[in-house]
């Protein structure tokens, strides 16, 4: 999970980060990356795709509305929090589907309850994977998953950023994935069509990985694929 915090008050951003870190620690949420800055340009120049952003509306370099629009363009599922005492901006901000508004000084309990709601929302965009090697759970963005395959008693979750090995119920895991762009090409292999780089009737490629399509699935997948292409 990637979190951006941007406000022209350096003391404020550090306090906010400390409270968010405490929340994440208390809820055993790991692998969180923070970009904490007083400069909107630093956020804009960062290559990370942010899941949450806490933004001040009025800053010297750029206003938070402009910054929020760009972050929303990069990730339409981003959860945006605005820190503002300026009512005149709120109508424009609502067009961006702002998750919460905060006033300074922020209320810590309200922050935590808002993070509770944000985590519920994000749960629909992530899959929990238990890594037995490290004895921990991690959250993987659904959109980052290229494919999942079952081999013997192990499940490989192949993502843009690497492969994660887990054990458990394959069917339970894939039931958490959206059926609008995930397809079970055979009983032990589900793919994310967003990552398909080449398709022929009997097989698809995701990068250099060739994945065969079960004979009984080929006609249905052909329809699924072209319906997907039309939507794009």
Is residue 135, in this structure, part of any structural domain at all? no
Same domain, 78 and 148: no
The CATH code of the domain that includes 220 is 2.40.50.1020
Q: Summarize pLDDT for 115-136 with one digit per residue, the tens.
A: 888 887 776 666 767 666 567 7
**What is the C-alpha to C-alpha distance for residues 77 and 52, in angstroms, rounded to an integer?**
9
Examine the domain organization and report whether 14 and 83 are in the same domain.
yes
> Is residue 172 classed exposed, middle or buried when 0-12, 13-18 and 19+ CB atoms within 10 A define those classes?
exposed
Does 146 share its domain with 198?
Answer: yes
Residue 129 lies in a domain: no
Same domain for 152 and 74: no
Judged against a pLDDT cut of 60, whether residue 72 lies above it is answered with yes
Contact assessment for residue 66 and residue 60, using Cβ atoms and an 8 Å cutoff: no
Tell me the average pLDDT across 180-194. 92
Dist. CA 35–CA 5, nearest whole Å:
6
Position 1 confidence tier, pLDDT thresholds 50, 70, 90: confident
Report the C-alpha gap between 210 and 194 in whole angstroms. 15
**Residue 178 domain-assigned (yes or no):** yes
Segment 86-108 shows an average pLDDT of 66
- pLDDT exceeds 60 at position 24: yes
Question: Does pLDDT of 216 surpass 90?
Answer: yes
DSSP state of 43: H
Question: Which residue do the tokens 């404020």 mark?
Answer: 12
Task: Say what the pLDDT of residue 42 is.
Answer: 92
Q: Pick the residue with more confidence: 31 or 187?
A: 187
Do 83 and 167 reside in the same domain of the chain?
A: no
| Range among 42-56, 106-120, 183-197 rated most confident | 183-197
State residue 222's pLDDT score: 93
Domain count, the chain: 2
Note whether 146 and 118 are same-domain residues: no
Do 112 and 154 fall into the same domain? no
Confidence of residue 86 (pLDDT cuts 50, 70, 90): low
Q: Band the pLDDT of 17: cuts 50, 70, 90.
A: very high
**Confidence bin at 75 (pLDDT 50/70/90):** confident
The enclosing domain of 18 has a CATH number of: 3.40.50.2300
CA–CA separation, 157 and 148 (whole Å): 5
Pairing relationship of beta strands 52-56 and 79-83 according to DSSP bridges: parallel
Q: 38 and 86 share a domain? A: yes
Q: Evaluate whether 6 touches 67 at the Cβ level (below 8 Å).
A: yes
| Residues of the domain holding 45 | 2-123
Q: What is the DSSP letter of 204?
A: E
pLDDT in tens, 101-114: 777 778 899 899 88
pTM of the model: 0.57
Averaged pLDDT of the chain: 84
* Domain match, 111 and 166 both: no
Query: Which of 90, 123, 156 corresponds to the end of one domain?
Result: 123
Same-domain check for residues 197 and 113: no
Higher pLDDT, 86 or 205: 205
């Amino acid at each position: 999970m990637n979190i951006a915090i941007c406000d022209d008050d350096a003391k404020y951003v550090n306090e906010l980060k400390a409270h968010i870190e405490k929340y994440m620690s208390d809820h055993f949420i790991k692998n969180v990356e923070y970009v904490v800055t007083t400069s909107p340009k630093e956020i804009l120049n960062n290559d990370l795709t942010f899941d949450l952003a806490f933004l001040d509306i009025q800053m010297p370099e750029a206003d938070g509305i402009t910054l929020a629009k760009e972050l929303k363009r990069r990730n339409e599922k981003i959860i945006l929090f605005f820190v503002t005492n300026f009512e005149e901006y709120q109508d424009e901000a609502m067009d961006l589907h702002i998750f919460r508004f905060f006033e300074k000084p922020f209320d810590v309990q309200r922050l935590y309850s808002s993070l509770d709601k944000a985590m519920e929302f994000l749960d629909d965009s992530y899959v929990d994977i238990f890594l037995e090697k490290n004895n921990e759970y991690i959250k993987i963005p659904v959109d980052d998953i290229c494919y999942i395959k079952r081999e013997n008693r192990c499940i490989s979750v192949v993502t843009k950023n690497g492969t994660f090995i887990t054990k458990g119920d394959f069917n339970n895991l894939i039931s958490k994935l959206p059926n609008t762009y995930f397809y079970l090409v055979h009983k032990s292999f589900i793919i994310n069509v967003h990552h398909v780089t080449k398709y022929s009737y009997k097989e698809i490629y995701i990068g250099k990985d060739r994945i065969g399509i079960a004979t009984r699935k080929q006609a249905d997948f052909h329809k699924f694929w072209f319906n997907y292409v039309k939507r794009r």
